[in-house]
Structure 1
Amino acid sequence: MKWSELDENWCPVARTLTLVGDRWTLLILRDCFLGSSKFEEFAASTGATRHIISSRLKRLVDAGILERKLYVERPKRYEYLLTEKGREFAPALVTFRDWGKKHLPVRRSVIAAKG
């Protein structure tokens, strides 16, 4: 079954996954909750390509999870802000975070290798 076929599925989990069920979308939402709002911030934080970030932001705006606001006229630059609908996703992200902290702790050797 293709992702596009799940958006009309009877299961609300399946329908939700069609919108936020990939790593880049979840990381963009994480960054929004942490205060990021600009394209370049999402690029730096997630490591995703510009094309991926652009497509995920468009999908989130189209779904009413983020709103796009112009903050610089020349050249045109937009920021992406959580809507009320988007802010309602907070408990899901908190659950992801808490589960990851408990079951997938960062090993010190991984941190040392990056530092």
Structure 2
Amino acid sequence: MKWSELSDNWCPVARTLSVLGDRWTLLILRDCLLGLSRFEQFAESSGMTRHILADRLKRLVEAGILVRNPYSEAPKRYDYILTEKGQELAPALMTLRDWGKKHLPVRRASTS
């Protein structure tokens, strides 16, 4: 089953994952919550390709999670800002962050 086919699934988790269910989308949301809003900032922060980033931003705008606001006319550039719907995802992302800190701590090499 394709992700796009989950939009009519009875399960709200499956429907949510059809919109948010990949690492790149979650990293964009993380960056928005950290105050980033521009294409170049997202690309630098996440390391994703421009093609993937453009695709994920488009999907998030279409889903009403982000809104695209122009900040430059020449060249045409946009800020991507969380909508109220997008801001409601903050507790879920904070829970993922906290779970990762607890169960997947960064392992640093010993300096002996």
TM-score tier, shorter chain, comes to over 0.9
| CA–CA separation in structure 2 for the residues paired with 1:87 and 1:109 | 36
Q: Counterpart of 1:78?
A: 78
Q: Counterpart of 1:15?
A: 15
Task: Give aligned-pair identity as a percent.
Answer: 73
TM-score, structure 1 as length reference? 0.93
What SS does the corresponding residue of 1:78 show, helix, strand or coil? strand
Give the total of aligned pairs: 111
Letter in 2 for 1:99: W
Identify unmatched segments of 5+ residues in structure 1.
none
Provide Cα deviations, 1:30-88, integer angstroms capped at 9, x if missing partner.
Answer: 00000000000000011110010000000000111000000011000001000000000
RMSD: 1.3
TM-score, structure 2 as length reference? 0.96
What SS does the corresponding residue of 1:106 show, helix, strand or coil? coil
* Divergent runs of 4+, >2 A: none
Shift of 1:3: 1.0
Q: Counterpart of 2:54?
A: 54
Identify unmatched segments of 5+ residues in structure 2.
none
